[in-house]
Amino acid sequence: MNRTGTRVMLVFGDPIAHSLSPLMQNAALQKAGVNAVYGACRVPKEQIGAAVAAVRLLNVWGVNLTVPLKEVVCPFLDELDPAAQLIGAVNTIVNRDGHLVGYNTDVYGVRRTLDLDLGFDPAGKRVMILGAGGASRAAIVALCQAGAASLGIANRTVARAETLIAEFAPAFPKTAFHACSLSSLDLGNGLKKADLLINATSVGLKGDRFVDFPWPALPDHAPVLDIVYSTEETSFVAAAKRHGHMATGGLGMLAAQGEKAFELWTGIAPQEWLMRSCLNAAQGKPTLLPMEGNLLAGMIGS
């Protein structure tokens, strides 16, 4: 490929060393013949303003943001798309001739993994979300936009769930909201009528787990999504499966948010299943895509 005029894309986060975004984005760029490279930079939270200034100075084409930068980046951008504005978090920046626009493609990621991995259409359904932080905000917007009938927000700190509901309920008048605690009794009552359960807490990130989770209350038909992304099956997904539920972790969401970001930057959709296959390959799982020219093997080995 002619590398004259190669554009640069980056992911910022702290920590960032283990990000799989460079793997899947570079594979997609190469496959699509886009003359660009995607790298990872550690950016401490207090340096986000300087990092965004560098994006402008160096004319970086696009940026992804991960923990802990998604919220703090907002004031440094020129424009936020409506979903990012509502959520108050940006995971993708598009540089349009120096005008930096913030998007939240996690919303698309949630919708896509519900569809592809769980065959779940939120329209008219009742959903229980665990957690009231950033991940929960993206899930709420995704579900409300897709027409969920009711959303329960269960959080360790109930007041935080109530604050979240007060913020989102006016934007989504067709969805009924209710808050509850994570106690077995409270949560068990809420789960009885749920058609879908989502873990959007950070429980499971460091190998920790919920104790006394009221699994028997969740109806058999309800699938389970654990937004926590881990290279191994999380304890939450494992427990859901043990109790007979269809369940998936955050891999599908990670791939889908990356696909949407790629499309926002380049104007073209990445090859279907490529990013997901990269993530599977990185975990030593079978890929879904025939690998041409040993593209992935080379990238993973490098």
Residues that bind ligand ATR (CB under 6 A): 131-136, 155-157, 160, 182, 201-203
- 199 CB-near residues (< 8 Å, 6+ apart): 130, 131, 224, 225, 226, 227, 228, 234, 236
Helix (H) or strand (E) holding 151: strand 150-154
Task: State both tokens at 134.
Answer: 């950033």
**Residue 141 CB-density burial (10 A; 0-12 exposed, 13-18 middle, 19+ buried):** buried
| Catalytic residue ranges | 70
User: Closest CB to ligand ATR belongs to which residue?
Assistant: 133
- Pick the closer one to ligand ATR by CB: 168 or 265: 168
Task: State both tokens at 121.
Answer: 């259409």
CB 233 to ligand ATR: min, Å = 19
Task: State both tokens at 228.
Answer: 């926590």
- Pick the closer one to ligand ATR by CB: 202 or 287: 202
- Pick the closer one to ligand ATR by CB: 85 or 202: 202
CB 293 to ligand ATR: min, Å = 37
CB 70 to ligand ATR: min, Å = 7
CB 200 to ligand ATR: min, Å = 6
Enumerate the β-bridge partners of residue 93.
63, 102
Residue given tokens 């065959």 in the structure block: 119
Closest listed residue to residue 162, CA positions, set 177, 173, 144? 177
Contact status, residue 188 vs residue 163, Cβ threshold 8 Å: no
Contact status, residue 241 vs residue 253, Cβ threshold 8 Å: no
Tally the C-alpha atoms within 13 A of residue 70's C-alpha that lie toward its C-beta.
19
- Pick the closer one to ligand ATR by CB: 104 or 136: 136
Helix (H) or strand (E) holding 103: strand 99-103
- Pick the closer one to ligand ATR by CB: 160 or 178: 160
